[in-house]
Amino acid sequence: MTDGSDEHQEAVVNGGPRGDRPDPRPRRGFWFGLVVAIVKPFMLVFTKPEFTGRENMPRSGGVVFAPNHISHFDPLVLGFYIWECRRIPRFLGKASVFKLPIAGRIISSAGQIPVYRESTQAADAFRDAVAAVERGECVGVYPEGTISRDPDLWPMSGKTGVARIALRTGCPVIPIANWGAQEVIRSYTGKTRIRLLPRKTIKVRAGKPVDLSAFTDKPITNELLHEATEVIMHAVAETLGELRGETPPKELFDLRKARSDDGEEKA
């Protein structure tokens, strides 16, 4: 980075002027380093990042971050954000993706984590994520499981994976909100559109760790997991509300119920 505009951009991303001495970067390895070398310049050229709340992300130790999902573009946004938090993001992905000839090799070598959805045991599906957290990794799980279908792109009701990992390991859960990625790629609108120019402002904010103390030291039942998940999802929605300057809905969009109602109407 050589000119003044780049220097300002880095100040926005890193939270201070270059004279600050941030925490050292974690050791990233060749494959993840290759991803960083490609993604970070791309993001700085084609987006205007506004990153806040990075002080809420623990700088070491096992942690799960739970982001909202609004676009096929936001995994790049969130990966960049976590990297700027001085952590290496380890996202969960479908196990089948890891079997792809080239992409699977890169994803696996970069330390990303497969989810075994075909497993008959729900706990087994997240075994690698639990192991990663116990090693002190920063693991990312989209609790909604898919891109939001809420008409206003608020978070939907979530699946129990984040709560399962957190209650199994005792690690903190960090709610993360992102906004602006939907302007780059609008997903599920009938026709996918990619618009890199003009540069879009991309906002990301990490909230304070979710208080799950009411659920600790109790048997991990399905009911307990659903209750903890509801608390996590409302924390994600509140963080997004802070980012958007709006009040999130009290009742989150339920995709399963919406599909069921739609099926009844068609019938």
DSSP bridge pairs for 190: none
Condensed to tens digits (0 to 9), the pLDDT of residues 202-260 reads: 999 999 999 999 999 999 999 999 999 999 999 999 999 999 999 999 999 999 888 87
CA-wise closest residue to 79 among 36, 109, 44: 36
Query: 90, 76 in Cβ contact below 8 A?
Result: no
Q: Residue 34: exposed, middle, or buried by beta-carbon count in 10 A (0-12, 13-18, 19+)?
A: middle
Measured distance CA(57)–CA(83) in Å, rounded = 11
Q: Which residue has the tokens 């100040």?
A: 11
> For a pLDDT cut of 70, what percent of the chain falls above it?
85
Contact status, residue 85 vs residue 162, Cβ threshold 8 Å: no
Instruction: Please report how many Cα atoms fall inside a 13 Å half-sphere around the Cα of residue 4, on the Cβ side.
Output: 0
pTM of the model: 0.85
pLDDT, tens digit (0-9, with 9 covering 90-100), for 70-100: 999 999 999 999 999 999 999 987 777 788 8
pLDDT at residue 109 greater than cutoff 60: yes
